[in-house]
Amino acid sequence: MDAFLDQVIQEHRSLVSRAQVTQKKDFVSIIMQLQKDGMFDNLTQDNIKAILLEMFVAGTDTSSTLLEWMLAELLRHPNSMKKVQQEVRSVMGNKSKVDPEDIHKMEYLKCVVKETLRLHPPAVYLPRRTTATASGKLGGYDIPSNTTVLINAWAIHRDPQWWKKPEVFIPERFENSSIEFQGQDFHYIPFGIGRRGCPGMSFGIASVEYVMANLLYWFDWKLPAGEAAEKMDMTELYGLAVYRKTPLHALAIPHSSF
Ligand code: HEM
């Protein structure tokens, strides 16, 4: 990864030095240009590599694991699968391509995304540290200054104090609800909170909705023969994100052949 990022930076550096950046304006070339314009003091090659690595790490597994959990939950809940698939197909009509305008009209799909993020937040622990000078009491505990606290989004999302039937997948709970991804609803924090909240949230949601709308539009989904929905292994595996311990196996049946 280190050698690869060096190479990517080198390629972009030569473009910037040849003033070709306007033709190839991507994330890396924008950082290079800002560096060239003197916007950052002491931005080293290592700093740039760290930024790029963070974008890859934070932006890829989170979205892909969310898609896998979503499809798994829909396979376990045929009524939700039917409802979301009907919505996607009726909004799409006979069009051959999903566009963002269509997705705005897929309200139930948005509820399915929200409910999957509630039960399976890809990033579980949100680390925060008290400032050097501040200390205080929280939930009856004394928190000294400079203490790192891990906020457990998974536990908060399943807290019966906030959620009815917290262990059950019910996308309808988000219908006509004002709960936002990064609002003031601290019992729902799949993208974190405050200034350290996920900067890729809009991109993450848009890409997941887009991929899911396509998967639901083009295919019907079934479990392989002999596998029962109620017996699916939903065990979680904690790593950079929270993955399925048993990868999902599903059969995609092209819708157009019906
Ligand atoms: C559905 C997909 C995603 C989920 C659920 C998600 C969730 C999160 C969460 C919970 C955090 C920690 C926030 C906090 O501590 O308050 C985070 C941080 C971050 N995310 Fe995302 N994320 C997603 C997609 C993305 C994408 C697509 C990108 C970039 C292309 C991205 C870039 C980042 C970065 C750079 C950070 C670190 C921010 C910092 O430490 O200041 N994320 N994300």
Task: Provide the mean pLDDT of the chain.
Answer: 91
Name the least confident of 42-51, 127-136, 170-179.
127-136
The protein residue with its alpha carbon nearest to ligand 1, atom 19, reads 198
The protein residue with its alpha carbon nearest to ligand 1, atom 9, reads 191
Q: Looking at the structure, tell me whether residues 222 and 100 fall in a common domain.
A: yes
Rounded to the nearest whole angstrom, what is the distance from the C-alpha of residue 240 to the centroid of ligand 1? 11
pLDDT tens per residue across span 20-33: 555 668 888 888 88
| Ligand 1 lining (C-beta closer than 6 Å) | 54-55, 58-59, 62-63, 66, 122-123, 126, 190-193, 196-200, 203-204, 208
Q: Looking at the structure, tell me whether residues 94 and 2 fall in a common domain.
A: no
Place of tokens 């006509």: 176
Tokens of 41: 């003091």
Q: Greatest CA separation found in the chain?
A: 66
Q: What pLDDT, on the 0 to 100 scale, is given for residue 16?
A: 66
Rounded to the nearest whole angstrom, what is the distance from the C-alpha of residue 190 to the centroid of ligand 1? 9
Q: What pLDDT, on the 0 to 100 scale, is given for residue 258?
A: 43
Please give the number of the atom of ligand 1 that sits closest to the Cα of 204: 27
More confident residue, 186 or 258: 186
Q: Looking at the structure, tell me whether residues 37 and 85 fall in a common domain.
A: no
Please give the number of the atom of ligand 1 that sits closest to the Cα of 54: 35
Q: What pLDDT, on the 0 to 100 scale, is given for residue 257?
A: 43
Instruction: Give dist(CA 162, CA 45) in Å, integer.
Output: 46
Q: Looking at the structure, tell me whether residues 169 and 112 fall in a common domain.
A: yes
pLDDT tens per residue across span 94-107: 888 898 899 999 99
Q: Is residue 97 part of a domain?
A: yes
Question: Residue 35 is which amino acid?
Answer: Q
The protein residue with its alpha carbon nearest to ligand 1, atom 17, reads 198
Q: What pLDDT, on the 0 to 100 scale, is given for residue 141?
A: 84
Residue range(s) defining the domain that contains residue 205? 62-257
Q: Looking at the structure, tell me whether residues 7 and 122 fall in a common domain.
A: no
pLDDT tens per residue across span 177-231: 999 888 788 999 999 998 889 999 999 999 999 999 999 999 999 999 989 999 9
More confident residue, 118 or 132: 118
Q: What pLDDT, on the 0 to 100 scale, is given for residue 19?
A: 62
Q: What pLDDT, on the 0 to 100 scale, is given for residue 117?
A: 98
Q: Looking at the structure, tell me whether residues 25 and 71 fall in a common domain.
A: no
Please state the rounded mean pLDDT for residues 148-159.
95
Q: Looking at the structure, tell me whether residues 21 and 105 fall in a common domain.
A: no
Please give the number of the atom of ligand 1 that sits closest to the Cα of 203: 27
Q: Is residue 51 part of a domain?
A: no
Q: Residue 38: is its pLDDT beyond 70? A: yes
For 15-65, the three-class secondary structure string (H helix, E strand, C coil) is HHHCCCCCCCCCHHHHHHHHHHCCCCCCCCHHHHHHHHHHHHHHHHHHHHH
Question: Residue 113 is which amino acid?
Answer: V
Tell which one of 191, 195, 240 to mutate to probe ligand 1, the residue whose CB is within 8 A of the most ligand atoms.
191
Q: Residue 234: is its pLDDT beyond 90? A: yes
The protein residue with its alpha carbon nearest to ligand 1, atom 16, reads 192
Q: Looking at the structure, tell me whether residues 87 and 151 fall in a common domain.
A: yes
Q: What's the structural domain count of the chain?
A: 2
Confidence of residue 140 (pLDDT cuts 50, 70, 90): confident
Please give the number of the atom of ligand 1 that sits closest to the Cα of 205: 1
How far the first Cα of the chain sits from its last, in Å, is 44
